[in-house]
């Protein structure tokens, strides 16, 4: 008989479940050497437990003879290797994951009976997977793309998956069009070009014919599509869900994830350079932050709408191309998610995790959003082929922390050994076990929504306003953000070879904002069409021909929304920001150490970049370890640059072309640059000017450190970009 406090044996279901919910050690006192792992001390065996004597040589007929078919160890090893890959996800193939916990601030029992949204004392384990949409598993992290933001809550009532994106809306309104959208954005089928990019004919051909995509295109062409870090982007549930309380009352809800580090991006030119320097930039950033103890944090926010208010808005709550402006319904922050443990094995966890919009718990339910309804079918269907059959829920990363009891049996890769004679219900031979549960005891019941309608293939007339929120988004952006959208559209459409598609897309843009359309047309060298040439409503409503587009863009009461611009995000921390310190032999070690200490105390990460690896000597003959050389480092991988003084160091860097390029690139990408006053000669060799915003020159290190920390927290000084001089 097992003692009460005896831990479960390794490999048992109980042990795996326990591991899933255990909190990780933050920082071990004895660090392993880089790229090493703890040895298990166990002998090597085959997959069936036979100890292996020789893993270096196959069984042969003599030293130079043929390999023998009877070598079962070789055959097992090679066969397993041949089948190590599974089909990658059609979308969201490129992903990164992490474990963590969610802690509720205050019970939401007024709105929902979901246990994890009622119990403030419980830490709910989570696994989060971030991803790009269009690219393959081997594509760059820095593609201009939507980012997936999927969270699996391992609740005490079963798993709840909040499968969202870093943008609150989507390209299409009905799941019927999803295969068409993805076929259009994927590499073109005749030549499999381009990878992880929307800048090609088929995508914009589709978009220019689907004006319902107008709002999402504004988001995708904005800086939101190229985040600085996965830790610095918002997450959204996209759809309108339902919350159900114990009294059976229903509330509509939009889910939000608000990053405590703020919402920040990189410049497009910078993103392209990062893709060449480090295509794993976002994956590495997430991993390193967690390993260093700088745990990423988001607050879960809810926008709650009483069911009685369903039709009070200018838009339809069920339309996935629309958001609820926060000025109309504020976001209530109800809890915090902290990611505090990296996966132990990328494939077993990040690659095999299976999310599904249909994984809900009592107190959360669906709405009739037609895109959501299609996702409810698609996700399970996808996992059946990717993960080998209907038992993907038994893979450790997908298992709930509560017991699973039902009459489902067998199938590919079944792990559970079910005992007993009966596998059906009702039964008398097994005392009708397992038995269904009453709603009062936690059994799931769907919301009793009244349905009274005819079967029809059509969309509600309320879905045909395609431009008002696209205009709202553009109007809400700061001037630099608007310029970036113009640049993005000009770049993307400039890659489109079919002129008719460019012209048709300009017609769509003209319905969003005339200045936007004019400036993009100027950049493309095309005359803005006098009359838009695209299907006005995307599809014909059930009551006949499309109406004039002007009747489909109602005058919005809200002209701009502060929440839609990153100019208003959190800018009060430099925690986990990476700062490059450029130095050479003869550097002023005192200034360098003062700045380095101040930056690290504020939570930043510093690296010394020098002409060579190894070490450098300070002016006082002390030795400093070099982290990277100019050959391996690049300014695009850092958030800011500091150049300390020291006569010999300054002279060396002033004549180091890579150092000058490093500073010029940081300046071009609007990052904070700080210099000791006696390093001014280096600045004079660059494009940067001492009077430019975000360029700091000080005599005293203490004064410089305070100003530099404040400047880094601003993220970028976009006003350094050249103003647009394009005729209206």
Locate the domains of the chain by residue range. Answer: 95-196+228-397, 462-567, 571-720
Each residue of 521-532: pLDDT tens digit?
999 999 998 887
Quick one: what percent of the chain has pLDDT higher than 70? 91
What kind and span of H or E run contains 130? strand 123-132
What kind and span of H or E run contains 626? none
d(CA 123, CA 23): 10
d(CA 89, CA 91): 5
Q: Which of 137-146, 233-242, 386-395 has the lowest mean pLDDT?
A: 386-395
Residue 548, pLDDT > 80, answer no
Residue 538, pLDDT > 60, answer no
CATH code: domain 95-196+228-397 is: 2.40.180.10
Residue 462, pLDDT > 60, answer yes
> What pairs with residue 581 in β-bridges?
608, 642
Same CATH topology for 95-196+228-397 and 462-567: the answer is no
The reply to whether omega before 426 is within 30° of 0 (cis) is yes
> What pairs with residue 667 in β-bridges?
none
d(CA 96, CA 92): 10
Give the CA distances from residue 97 to residues 131, 287, 305, 335, 341, in Å, rounded to whole numbers and listed in that order: 9, 9, 32, 20, 10
What ranges in 354-422 are assigned the alpha helix state H? 370-386
d(CA 693, CA 502): 37
Each residue of 218-257: pLDDT tens digit?
999 999 999 999 999 999 999 999 999 999 999 999 999 9
Query: What number is the average pLDDT over the span 160-186?
Result: 96
Query: Is residue 395 helix, strand or coil?
Result: coil
Question: Rounded to two decimals, what is the model's pTM?
Answer: 0.90
Q: Which long-range contacts (CB under 8 A, 24 or more apart) does 379-384 make?
A: 379/163, 379/354, 379/355, 380/356, 382/89, 382/90, 383/354, 383/356
- Place 536 in a pLDDT band, splitting at 50, 70 and 90: low
What ranges in 607-689 are assigned the alpha helix state H? 647-654, 657-668, 680-684
pLDDT at 723 (0 to 100): 62
Residue 90, pLDDT > 90, answer yes
pLDDT at 41 (0 to 100): 84
d(CA 337, CA 153): 10
- Place 724 in a pLDDT band, splitting at 50, 70 and 90: low
| Residue 632 CB neighbours (<10 A) | 11
pLDDT at 456 (0 to 100): 84
Residue 547, pLDDT > 80, answer no
Sheet holding 672-676, edge to edge: 628-629, 605-610, 578-582, 640-643, 672-676, 695-698
pLDDT at 38 (0 to 100): 65
Residue 542, pLDDT > 60, answer no
Q: Which of 182-186, 510-514, 556-560 has the lowest mean pLDDT?
A: 556-560
571-720 is classed CATH 3.40.50.880: yes
- Contact of 471 with 516, CB cutoff 8 Å: no
- Place 14 in a pLDDT band, splitting at 50, 70 and 90: very low
pLDDT at 241 (0 to 100): 98
- Place 96 in a pLDDT band, splitting at 50, 70 and 90: very high
CATH code: domain 462-567 is: 1.20.1370.20
d(CA 348, CA 343): 9
Average per-residue pLDDT for the chain: 90
d(CA 98, CA 633): 27
Residue 22, pLDDT > 50, answer no
Residue 27, pLDDT > 80, answer no
pLDDT at 15 (0 to 100): 41
Residue 36, pLDDT > 70, answer no
pLDDT at 424 (0 to 100): 86
d(CA 297, CA 681): 41
- Place 540 in a pLDDT band, splitting at 50, 70 and 90: very low
Query: Given 99, 115, 118, 165, which residue is catalytic?
Result: 165
Structure tokens that stand for 725 in this block: 């001089």
d(CA 461, CA 546): 11
Residue 67, pLDDT > 70, answer yes
Each residue of 291-315: pLDDT tens digit?
999 999 999 999 999 999 999 999 9
Query: Given 92, 282, 466, 484, which residue is catalytic?
Result: 92
> Which residues lie below 8 Å from residue 66, measured CB to CB, with a gap of 6+?
60
d(CA 234, CA 238): 12
Quick one: what percent of the chain has pLDDT higher than 90? 76
Give Rg (Cα) of the chain: 29
Of how many residues is the chain composed? 728
Q: Is 165 assigned a catalytic role?
A: yes
Residue 110, pLDDT > 50, answer yes
């Amino acid at each position: 008989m097992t003692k009460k406090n005896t831990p479960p044996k390794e490999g048992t279901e109980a042990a795996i479940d326990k591991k899933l919910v255990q909190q990780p050690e933050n920082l071990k006192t004895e660090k392993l050497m880089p790229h090493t792992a703890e040895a298990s001390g166990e002998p090597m065996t085959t997959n069936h437990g036979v100890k292996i004597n020789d893993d270096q040589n196959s069984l042969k007929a003599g030293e130079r003879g043929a390999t023998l078919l009877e070598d079962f160890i070789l055959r097992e090893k090679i066969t397993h290797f041949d089948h190590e890959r599974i089909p990658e996800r059609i979308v969201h193939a490129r992903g990164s994951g992490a474990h963590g916990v969610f802690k509720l601030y205050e019970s939401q029992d007024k709105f929902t009976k979901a246990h994890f949204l009622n119990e403030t004392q419980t830490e709910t384990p989570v696994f989060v997977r971030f991803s790009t949409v269009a690219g393959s598993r081997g594509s760059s992290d820095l593609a201009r793309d939507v980012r997936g933001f999927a969270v699996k809550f391992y609740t005490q009532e079963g798993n709840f998956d909040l499968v969202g994106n870093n943008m609150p809306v989507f390209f299409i309104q009905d799941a019927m069009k999803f295969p068409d959208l993805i076929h259009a954005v994927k590499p073109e089928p005749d030549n499999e070009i381009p990878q992880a990019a929307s800048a090609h004919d088929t995508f914009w051909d589709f978009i220019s014919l689907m004006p319902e995509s107008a709002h999402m295109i504004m988001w995708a062409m904005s800086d939101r599509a190229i985040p600085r870090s996965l830790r610095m982007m918002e997450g959204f549930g996209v759809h309108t869900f339902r919350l159900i309380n114990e009294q059976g009352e229903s509330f509509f809800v939009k889910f939000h994830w608000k990053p405590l580090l703020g919402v920040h991006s990189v410049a497009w030119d910078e993103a392209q350079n990062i893709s060449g320097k480090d295509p794993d930039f976002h994956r590495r950033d997430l991993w390193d932050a967690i390993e260093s103890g700088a745990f990423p944090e988001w607050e879960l926010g809810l926008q709650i709408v009483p069911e009685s208010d369903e039709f009070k808005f200018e838009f339809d709550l069920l339309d996935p191309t629309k958001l609820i402006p926060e000025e109309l319904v504020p976001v209530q922050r109800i809890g915090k998610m902290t990611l505090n443990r990296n996966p132990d094995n990328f494939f077993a966890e990040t690659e095999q995790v299976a999310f599904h919009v249909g994984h809900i718990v009592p107190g959360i339910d669906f709405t009739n959003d037609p895109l959501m309804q299609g996702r409810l079918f698609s996700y399970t269907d996808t996992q059946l082929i990717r993960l080998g059959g209907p038992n993907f829920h038994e893979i450790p990363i997908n298992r709930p922390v509560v017991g699973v009891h039902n009459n489902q049996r067998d199938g590919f890769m079944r792990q559970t050994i079910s005992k007993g004679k009966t596998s059906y219900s009702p039964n008398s031979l097994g005392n009708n076990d397992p038995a269904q549960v009453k709603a009062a005891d936690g059994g799931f019941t769907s919301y009793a929504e009244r349905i009274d309608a005819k079967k029809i293939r059509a969309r509600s007339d309320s879905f045909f306003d395609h431009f008002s929120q696209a205009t709202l988004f553009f109007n809400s952006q700061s001037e630099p953000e608007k310029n970036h959208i113009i640049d993005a559209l000009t770049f993307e459409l400039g890659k489109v070879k079919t002129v008719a598609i460019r012209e048709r897309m300009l017609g769509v843009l003209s319905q969003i904002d005339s200045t936007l359309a004019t400036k993009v047309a100027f950049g493309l060298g095309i005359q803005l069409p006098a009359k838009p040439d695209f299907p006005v409503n995307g599809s014909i409503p059930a009551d006949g021909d499309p109406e004039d587009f002007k009747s489909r863009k109602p005058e919005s009461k809200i002209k701009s929304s502060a929440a839609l611009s990153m100019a208003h995000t959190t800018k009060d921390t430099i925690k986990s920001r990476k700062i490059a310190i450029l130095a050479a032999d003869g550097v002023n070690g005192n200034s360098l150490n003062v700045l380095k200490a101040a930056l690290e105390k504020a939570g930043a990460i510093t690296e010394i970049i020098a002409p060579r690896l190894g070490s450098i000597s300070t002016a006082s003959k002390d030795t400093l370890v070099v982290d990277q050389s100019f050959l391996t480092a690049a300014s695009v991988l850092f958030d800011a640059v500091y150049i300390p003084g020291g006569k010999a160091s300054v002279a060396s860097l002033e004549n180091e072309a890579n150092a000058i390029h490093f500073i010029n690139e940081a300046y071009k990408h609007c990052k904070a640059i700080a210099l000791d006053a006696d390093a001014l000669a280096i600045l004079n060799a660059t494009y940067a000017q001492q009077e430019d915003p975000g360029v700091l020159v000080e005599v005293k290190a203490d004064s410089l450190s305070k100003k530099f920390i404040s400047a880094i927290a601003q993220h970028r000084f976009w006003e350094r970009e050249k103003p647009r001089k394009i005729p209206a």
